[in-house]
Structure 1
Amino acid sequence: MTDPRPHVTVLAGFSPAATDVVARSLLVTDPSLILITHDLAGIVDGVVRRTVRTATRVLEEDHTELVHGCVSCTLREDVVPTLVRTSRRHPGSDLVLALPPAVEPEAVAAVCAVSTCDGIAVTDAVRLDSYVTVVDATTLIDDLTSTDDLRDRGRHAAGNDRRGVAEVISRQIEFADTVVLWGTSQADVLERDHITALLHRLAPWATRVRADGSPAAGEADLAARLLRTGRHDPAVPGMAGRALEGYPIGLHDPVGDHRVNAMLFHSRRPFHPQRLHDALDDLSGEALRGRGQLWIASQPGTAVSWESAGGDLMLGNLGRWLVSLPQQRWDEASDMRRLAADATWDPYYGDRATVLSFIGFDLDVDAMTALLESCLLTDAEIAGGVDGWRTLPDPFAGYFPLEGDQEPATVTEGAAS
């Protein structure tokens, strides 16, 4: 059956010029296509400016005043209502939502998945057709290797926005269904191949499209490759939760090509908290990008996320491992997570596992693997059992609180003895 909802193509990218050129190129190919843009220059003062237009005329030009100037407030209080309102006023038109540089597409997907407007779910009003990230070939490598924060570039989206440039760009690329490489005409063949190899390892699941600013024929081809592709699958989780649900988080390609390589590290046994802590600088500094999940022996109930970029490292809480929960609570997890846990269940460790992906330039995979393995518990430490693991010196104590003050009184921790 034909889906009557307007299709929304979400454009993200850190280069406003490149994203704007792609957006306007799409408008030229379809007079009914509507472009929605937001200017966050005044967001710190709680003001967001919005423009809604076609190729030939401006339909809306207004602003929203926010109680709290931040990205999440902008999405809830302006972006979502604008999508729904525009779809109602122009039911025969598809929409292109071009995001400001500081906005990550995963945040848009998360808000749209749960939001309503006038009692109508956003996903009933529009279809989020695809997420497209535009990268500028002339600045991509410098930005991904930069240690700058958004604040250093004047791109921060709130007073307390401490995100790094490399972190934001990496997330924009990883969440994309399609990555558009813009500006390759200004790069030589070797540089273009180098960037293409990097994008493939950062987002092997994404379709890659080159767009060099060709005339009208090129614009029509670009539109055909970006609009109404149906590439977005809302069931696929964000990067932090992909390994938990059994989705791939990267490639294992130690040799690589064009100086870009990648590795995957898997382990069922946990990390020693102190040894892992001591190795963090080396692990986060060697790779251009790191992502995945891990577990620490002293906190055996907690799944921990790993994200590194631009020399910064973020460790977060992904919740409890299923093995640390009473079985009556397993229904709280998604179907895919329970299926993934069942398919890989270990009689000793349950669903607990470390899965890490690293991408870099001439990354020393053997050295990285050896360093990670040196941080795992030894056979003698494993033999101490869960009670012994909890007493290990833990620099991460208190960093990953779980709901409630205590671990559950009755948990299945495996056959430790």
Structure 2
Amino acid sequence: MEDHRADGLLPVTVLAGFLGSGKTTLLNHVLRNAGEHRIAVIVNDMSEVNIDADLIRDADVTRTDETMVELSNGCICCTLREDLLVEVRRLAEAGKFDYILIEGTGIAEPLPIAASFSFKDEEGRSLRDISRLDTMVSVVDAANLLKDFSSQDLLSDRGEVRDDEDQRSLIDLLVDQIEFADVVVINKASEVSADELAEIRKTIKSLNIDAKLIETDFGKVELSEILDTKLYSEAKAATHPLWHKELYSPAEHIPETEEYGIASFVYRARRPFDPEKFYAFTQRKWDGLLRAKGHFWLATRKDWIGLYSVAGTQTKVDQRGFWWASVPRTYWPRQQQFQAMLQRYWTATWGDRRQELVFIGVNLPKEEISAALDACLSGSETGIDAREVAEMRDPFPEWVRHDHAAA
């Protein structure tokens, strides 16, 4: 048997996916076909009774309490993080296993789970000392993905929330789970038509161009596709989303977008948006638009960085922090890297304030979207008159400064 701990670190695969996508079915398939793999399983469930753990026990798989750990009545990406740290460490130090599979709850976001492996306890210990994240897997339900992606439902509408303050939408969760994945398993693929399957591929690739796609039924995947792939990279994980690549690596050519018929472009400008005109723009729906994200600034809120995000039919506008031009220089970082970044974006008129919005979709009306955004611009290249700003109507909700807000 191949030694998966040759580097001394226990490899870990994390399974994410919304309720009904088939995570537990996939997990059972892996366990039934584990062969000589010695796999320990951590199953997380929000309820007091861990239903997924019961389903694994009921399956025709020989398991023992020693190889399966239940983390119930909470989510491992927040309230049960300490429990996750303890259990992974215990399993790694036991020396009995060559792999760990973690099945998150249906509403778990992969990124906080991955971050747990970098977290250091009071003694300075980290899970990275004894284990390594190997693969982040997201399972999607082919029969429902397109419908869910066009939904306006909150997770609370589906009866699934992290706590009483959980206001996430279903699209928020699906996007987070797909954008952070190394592998996306399109489960129940035979339940949709060839055209629908093509749309599903485009939707996933519009969120994460690097993700490896596996189309299957009943969670049947080759173990080598999700175990010991060495696909996960902490540095790369932050740049998985296609919007990030387009916005921050404009020179990078991504030929796969052509294969899937996905087009993208970045809108850039320096002048501020008229808030009423830009608000009207955010209410419009554009044919073929699958994803949009970026930052902007309004003439009436010259200190604030605005965040614009579109996923499916859902549009969000919020504040992200403050432009460095509005922050006293005594608070600016002194690192050379920061100085180089600021110099790249700085102008005498606007400082680092700018509009940068990326749009991704199929058959995007680029010229029409760009013209609509141009029409939102106010002032001139040399500045904007304060009297003009004073007469503007600003329909956006008030932005409140948070302690963690930063430029």
TM-score (norm 1): 0.77
Matched, 1:138 2:143: yes
The answer for the alignment partner of 1:376 in structure 2 is 377
The within-5 A match list for 1:230-309 is 230-236=230-236, 237=238, 242=244, 246-247=248-249, 262-282=264-284, 287-309=289-311
Check 1:132–1:62 CA distance in 2 against 1; reply closer, same or farther (3 A cut): closer
* 1:158 is aligned to 2:159: no
State whether structure 2 residue 90 is matched by structure 1 residue 89: no
Closer, same or farther: CA 88–163 of 1 in aligned 2, 3 Å: same
Preserved contact between residue 129 and residue 231 of structure 1 (Cα < 8 Å): yes
Aligned sequence identity (%): 25
Secondary structure at 1:162's aligned position in 2?
A: coil
Residue 108 of structure 1 corresponds to: 113
1:402, CA displacement in angstroms?
A: 6.2
The more displaced of 348-357 and 177-186 is 348-357
Corresponding residue for residue 30 of structure 2 = 26
Query: Structure 2: which 5+ residue stretches go unaligned?
Result: none
What pairs up with 1:267-416 in 2 under 5 angstroms?
A: 267-282=269-284, 287-309=289-311, 311-326=313-328, 329-331=331-333, 340-346=341-347, 348-360=349-361, 363-379=364-380, 383-384=383-384, 393-396=393-396, 398-401=398-401
Question: Is the CA contact (8 Å cut-off) linking 2:138 and 2:181 kept in structure 1?
Answer: yes
Quickly say closer, same or farther: Cα 1:229–1:138, change in 2 above 3 A. Answer: same
Residue 39 of structure 1: how far off its partner (Å): 1.4
Q: What is the TM-score when the length of structure 2 is the normalising length?
A: 0.78
8 A contact 1:105–1:172 mirrored in 2? yes
- 2:7 pairs with 1:3: yes
Is the 1:115–1:121 contact (alpha carbons within 8 Å) kept by the matching residues of 2?
yes
Deviation at residue 247 of structure 1 after TM alignment: 5.0
Deviations along 1:283-320, one digit per CA (max 9) or x if unpaired, are: 59984433222222333333332223354433344333
Which runs of at least 4 in structure 1 moved beyond 6 Å after TM superposition?
47-50, 238-241, 250-253, 255-260, 385-388
Q: Deviations over 1:100-149 (max 9, x none)?
A: 11111122223433343865212223212221211121111011011111
Between 136-145 and 234-243, the greater mean CA deviation after superposition: 234-243
- Quick one: which amino acid aligns to residue 23 of structure 2? T
Q: Is the 8 A contact 1:285 1:311 kept in 2?
A: no
Q: Give the direction of change, closer, same or farther, for the CA distance of 1:211–1:251 in structure 2 (3 Å limit).
A: farther
Shift of 1:169: 0.5
Q: Is the 8 A contact 1:48 1:74 kept in 2?
A: no
Give the length in aligned residue pairs.
Answer: 392
Name which of 39, 42, 45 aligns with 1:36: 42
Larger helix proportion, structure 1 or 2?
1
Contact 2:205–2:260 (CA<8 Å) still a contact in 1?
no
Segments of structure 1 that go 5 or more residues without pairing to the other structure are: 409-417
> What is residue 120 of structure 1 aligned with on the other side?
125
Instruction: Call closer, same or farther: CA 1:139–1:339 in 2, change over 3 Å.
Output: farther
Q: 1:8 to 1:72 in 2, by over 3 A?
A: closer
Paired with 2:44 and 2:208, the residues of 1 have a C-alpha distance of: 26
Q: CA RMSD in A?
A: 4.2
Aligned pairs for 1:163-202 (under 5 A) are 163-202=168-207
Residue 57 of structure 1 corresponds to 63
Tell me, yes or no, if the aligned pair for 2:41 and 2:102 is still in contact at 8 Å: yes
How far apart, CA to CA, are the structure 2 residues paired with 1:295 and 1:37?
Answer: 44
Q: Which moved more, 1:340-349 or 1:273-282?
A: 340-349
What is the CA distance between 1:358 and its match in structure 2? 3.3
1:224 matched to 2:220? The reply is no
Query: In 2 relative to 1, CA 383–395 (structure 1 residues): closer, same or farther, beyond 3 Å?
Result: same
User: C-alpha separation between the residues in 1 aligned to 2:182 and 2:166?
Assistant: 26
Contact 1:167 1:310 in 2 (8 A): no
Instruction: Report the CA distance between 1:23 and its aligned residue.
Output: 2.3
Q: Write the deviation string for residues 336-388 of structure 1: whole angstroms up to 9, x where unpaired.
A: x76655555555444433332334565543332222222222427x5226897
Write the deviation string for residues 204-235 of structure 1: whole angstroms up to 9, x where unpaired: 132222334587xxx4xx22222222222223
Contact (CA 8 Å) 2:77, 2:109: kept in 1 or not? Answer: no
Q: In the alignment, residue 277 of structure 2 is paired with which amino acid?
A: R
Q: CA deviation at 1:61?
A: 5.1
How much does 1:62 deviate?
A: 4.8
Partner of 1:411: none
